[in-house]
Structures are given as C-alpha cells and as structure tokens.
Amino acid sequence: MEGNIEIIDNSECTISELHNNKHEGNRYVLLNNYNTYHTISEKLLSILSHVFIMVCFATYFFFEYVIEIEKKLLLDKINTYFDELNEHYKDQDDEYQEVIKYILYYENINDNLYEEYKNAQHIQDKKLNTLKVKAGMMVGYVAIFFVLSLLNAIRIRKHIHWTHIVVENLLMFLLLGIFEYLFFTHIIMSYTPITDEELRYLLYNNVEQIINGTYS
C-alpha cells in the first residue's frame, strides 16, 4: 500500500511540475514578445525621428537657401557679362552706339520685355508656392508616422530609453548640419554647370545672330 501511495504521489508531483513548467514557458514567451515589441517600438521611434529631422532640414534648406543662392550665382554671371559689354560699348563711337540703341529699343521692346518678365515672375511665384505646399504635404506624411510612433512610445514610456533617443538625434542633427554646410560650401559652391566664359559666348553669339538676321 505504501509503495502504491508513493507511486501515486510521484505521479501527481510529475504532473504538477509539468503544469508549472508549461506555465513558466508560456510566461517566458509572453515576456519575450513584450520585450520584442518594446524594442521594435523604440527603434521605430528613433528611425522616424531621424527621418523627420532630415526631411524638415532638407526642405527648409532648399526653399530658404539653395534657391536664392542659385539665383544669385546665375545673376552674378549675367551681370559680369554685361559689365564687360558696357566697358566695350563705351569705347565705341557715337554712330555705333546709335545703331545698338536702335536695335534694342525698337517698338518699345523694353516695355514688352518688362511685361513678360512680370508675368513670368507671377507664374514662377505661383509654382514656387505650389511646390512649397507639396513639400509641406510630404513633410506632413512623415510627421503623421512620427507622431503615431511617439504616441505609442509614450504609452509604453517606462520601457523606452528616452535619453538614448534624444542623444542620438542631437548627434545626428549636429553631424548632418556640419556635413551639409561643408558639402554645400566646399563642393556645390565650388562648381557651376555653366562657366562665365560659356555664358558670355552664348549671349554674344545669339545677339550676333539676331543682328545678322540668322537667329533661329
């Protein structure tokens, strides 16, 4: 009897241990899933923070600096050409100057060119505003994902390493700013797709063709 009782007790102990082991296994899997979810949430927030900062920086930099700088570079080239042309013009005799004046001022061409310039400027401003709206929408889409990720991280804030995320983004923004500044000043500003000499040649050649009646 005692032997049988011991066997039954051992069997019950074994079943209980199996049940406990299964419970502990399920608990481990559950905790592991939670840890994985927290890790993914933190990494996603960090990545979207990087992307959001870069998108905002690139958009602002383009509209506030790149456009104006490119326009100034082109106008400087044109002004350089006309400065040289002006020096050459002043050295010519009065008869030659009168011919040039006649070519440039026939039928109020200056007024017509000014009207075309103002109309084109109006169209260009509208196009720029449209591009700003499109860029703002693109930034907005990124912002939506960033905000959703941020809200999710706030919900599980006890499991998020906020200090790491802030430090990573500050370093990324600092390094990105330094790189963009150095790249823009030492690379982009050091090269222009059209040289002063090429621009002078094109302008002179086209004006010459107009005067000769061969422009097409």
Residue ranges per structural domain of the chain:
2-212
Distance CA(66)–CA(71), nearest Å, equals 8
Confidence class of residue 1 from pLDDT cuts 50, 70 and 90? very low
pLDDT digits (tens, 9 = 90+) for 136-177: 999 999 999 999 999 988 988 888 888 988 998 889 888 888
Q: Report whether pLDDT(26) > 70.
A: no
**Taking the complete model, does pTM exceed 0.75, yes or no?**
no
pLDDT of amino acid 211: 67
Q: pLDDT tens digits for 87-122?
A: 766 676 666 666 666 656 555 666 777 788 788 888
Q: Burial, 19: exposed, middle or buried (Cβ in 10 Å; 0-12, 13-18, 19+)? A: exposed
Q: Residue length, the chain?
A: 216
Of 4-13, 171-180, 206-215, give the range with the top mean pLDDT: 171-180
